[in-house]
């Protein structure tokens, strides 16, 4: 097998969806990469402000929020091979007001942490501003999702909500967080200028992050989240619902594997008291280098097999 070289795209073992760049490998939602993005203090601050939470420290904000176990996205440089270019046009919303479990109003704020600069030469996030105000009409006009079980509502490119609207590409710098209401029509867009399509660097690398107040999650969802974390489950963007999109790879994830493990534990759903039990007597400050809890987190959840955790 050819050795992978970051400077040689021809050596990359590419696991992202060639159509939209989404990475859907087992365990991706519990990877250290995603947890690094979720536990950034400024990310926690942004979501706390979006939900009008009064907490003013990273620890308190993490305790008041829950994070999605969502995935990530990457675009390859494609000028040398146009087959590597992702496709445009998959406009959608991620909240269904006409589904089997309808959700209307402001119920989720999604986000993307960009690890690379996003511009016309790279592609990235595109949105139709103000479309959240027409959310119910959008859902009603999508026959495939009316009374359906999920919250993904696709729109055709010739849909009146798309054809007659003014879309906006959101340029950003590496390290920026872009947030949007889940009722908003959006998609990812490939580069629309070839000036930056050459070279050997990734055109786009981003982490999807969605956080909601912990108080809206039921005890059953909280329990499923603890079990699903250990089972390396990847989920939808809904922190307060349990919808597994990708099962784990069969390994057991532990908090000691993660950056900022105390913040991560709170964002999964463990309480402050449980976190103190997990890490006592280690009172060192939380750090980006993984720490080792005193006890296994399995002591704080009911014994269960992996399969029930993913049900």
Average pLDDT value for residue range 247-263: 89
> From the CA atom positions of the chain, what is the Rg in Å?
20
Q: What number of residues does the chain have?
A: 311
Beta bridge partners of residue 204, listed in sequence order: 75
Residues 36 and 288: beta-carbon distance below 8 Å: yes
pLDDT in tens, 134-159: 999 999 888 777 777 788 898 877 78
Query: Quick one: average pLDDT of 92-121?
Result: 93
Q: Rounded to whole angstroms, how far apart are CA atoms 290 and 264?
A: 11
User: What whole-number distance in Å separates Cα of residue 13 and Cα of residue 65?
Assistant: 35
User: Residue 296 and residue 226: Cα distance in Å, rounded?
Assistant: 13
Give the mean model confidence (pLDDT) for residues 167-182: 95
Q: What is the pLDDT of residue 286?
A: 73
Q: Poorest-confidence range of 220-229, 248-257, 285-294?
A: 285-294
Alpha helices in the chain (DSSP H): 32-38, 41-50, 58-64, 135-140, 160-163, 219-230, 261-268, 272-279, 306-309
Residue 288: band (very low, low, confident or very high) from pLDDT cuts 50, 70, 90: low
Q: Is 296 or 65 the better-scoring residue by pLDDT?
A: 65
What is the rounded distance in angstroms from the CA atom of residue 237 to the CA atom of residue 241? 9
Examine the pLDDT at 168 and tell me if it is beyond 80.
yes
* d(C-alpha 168, C-alpha 164), whole Å: 13
Give the model's confidence band at 284: pLDDT under 50 very low, under 70 low, under 90 confident, else very high.
low
Q: How far apart are CA 55 and CA 45, in angstroms?
A: 9
- Bridge partners, residue 186, by sequence: 92, 127
> Tell me, what's the pLDDT at 79?
77
Q: What is the pLDDT of residue 59?
A: 95
pLDDT tens by residue, 53-64: 999 999 999 999
Region 171-184: what's the mean pLDDT?
A: 96
Average pLDDT over residues 183-209: 84
Residue 309: pLDDT band by 50, 70, 90 thresholds? very low
Task: Determine the 3-state secondary structure of 124 from DSSP.
Answer: strand
pLDDT at position 272 over 60: yes
Domain ranges in the chain are 25-69+212-311
Average pLDDT over residues 75-99: 86
- Cis peptide, bond prior to residue 281, ω within 30 of zero: yes
Q: What pTM, to 2 d.p., does this model score? A: 0.88
Mean pLDDT in residue range 96-119:
93
Q: What percent of the chain has pLDDT over 90?
A: 59
Nearest-10 Cα torsion for 16, 248, 282, 212 = 70
Residue 292 pLDDT exceeds 70: no
Strand (E) or helix (H) holding 52: none
Rounded distance between C-alpha atoms, residue 239 and residue 236, angstroms: 8
């Amino acid at each position: 097998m050819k050795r992978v070289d970051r400077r040689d795209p021809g050596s990359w073992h590419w696991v992202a969806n060639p159509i939209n760049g989404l990475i859907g490998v087992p365990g991706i939602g519990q990877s250290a990469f995603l947890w690094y993005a979720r536990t950034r203090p400024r990310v926690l601050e942004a979501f706390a402000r979006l939900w009008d939470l009064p907490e003013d420290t990273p620890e308190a904000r993490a305790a008041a929020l829950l994070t999605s176990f969502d995935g990530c996205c990457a675009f390859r440089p494609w000028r040398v091979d146009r087959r590597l270019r992702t496709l445009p046009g998959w406009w959608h919303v991620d909240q269904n007001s006409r589904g089997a479990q309808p959700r209307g109003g402001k119920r989720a704020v999604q986000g993307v942490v960009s690890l690379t600069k996003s511009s016309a030469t790279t592609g990235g996030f595109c949105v139709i501003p103000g479309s959240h105000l027409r959310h119910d009409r959008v859902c009603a006009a999508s026959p495939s999702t009316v009374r359906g079980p999920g919250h993904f509502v696709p729109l055709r490119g010739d849909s009146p909500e798309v054809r007659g609207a003014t879309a906006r590409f959101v340029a950003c710098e590496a390290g920026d967080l872009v947030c949007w209401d889940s009722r908003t029509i959006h998609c990812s867009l490939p580069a629309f200028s070839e000036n930056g399509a050459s070279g050997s660097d990734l055109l786009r690398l981003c982490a999807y992050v969605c956080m909601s107040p912990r108080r809206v999650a039921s005890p059953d969802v909280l329990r499923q989240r603890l079990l699903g974390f250990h089972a390396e489950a990847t989920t939808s963007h809904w922190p307060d619902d349990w919808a597994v999109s990708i099962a784990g790879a069969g390994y057991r994830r532990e908090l000691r594997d993660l950056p900022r493990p105390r913040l991560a534990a709170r964002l999964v759903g463990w309480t402050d008291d449980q976190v103190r039990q997990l890490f006592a007597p280690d009172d060192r400050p939380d750090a980006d280098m993984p720490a080792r809890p005193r006890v296994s987190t399995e002591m704080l959840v009911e014994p269960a097999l992996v399969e029930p955790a993913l049900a």
